[in-house]
Structure 1
């Protein structure tokens, strides 16, 4: 696994998210239209933007954690059980802290 390349990709991804978040914050800071129909649409759009902002911030945290793990030499190991995270999983989710088994366990316990 080439952690130099992964780190570069994660940093690129982080910059892209930061740009999107800045654009979202600008859009959320705009004044609402005086027309009530337009205002209703803008309010609905703001709710969507706020959801996107939350998701972006969560992804930024995950990326930061992954970059910390790269720097500490623990990247690619599950933070819960210490098992190696499969390369295919890391290619799909390069910021994941969990192996497949622990991710399944976390998902099922969050549904309970």
Structure 2
């Protein structure tokens, strides 16, 4: 069983990765200098993918920040719906999850 300090370290590492990804996406947006219509169309398709990746990264960052808040409140590792402890296996896969398997969206 991992300690809360180990979970916090994992979340900090993931947060750093996401922030780096967001910076790379923003750099990519700024680097576009298409001159003709075909290049512009290709760039726009790529921009949509980058935008979606950026949104997903920002959503995961919000989940990580919420997990840090739960840690501060002593509620990390417990389902926000039922209050039961979240399984170690689930936290290994989704360390920022606020839900047990039974109360996860789509369960």
What TM-score bracket applies, with the shorter chain setting the length?
Answer: over 0.9
Asked whether the equivalents of residues 15 and 64 of structure 2 are also in contact (C-alpha less than 8 Å), the reply is yes
Matched, 1:82 2:83: yes
Structure 1, residues 9-37: CA drift from partner, whole Å, max 9, x if none? 10111011001101111211234401211
TM-score, structure 2 as length reference? 0.93
Aligned to 2:92: 91
Alignment match, 1:72: 73
| TM-score, L = length of structure 1 | 0.89
CA contact (8 A) 1:32 1:42 kept: no
Quote the RMSD (CA, aligned, Å): 1.2
Structure 1 gaps of 5+ residues are: none
Alpha-carbon distance in structure 2 between the residues aligned to 1:71 and 1:8? 14
Q: Which residue of 1 aligns with 2:26?
A: 25
Partner residue, 2:106 = 107
Paired residues in the alignment total: 106
1:57 partnered with 2:86? no
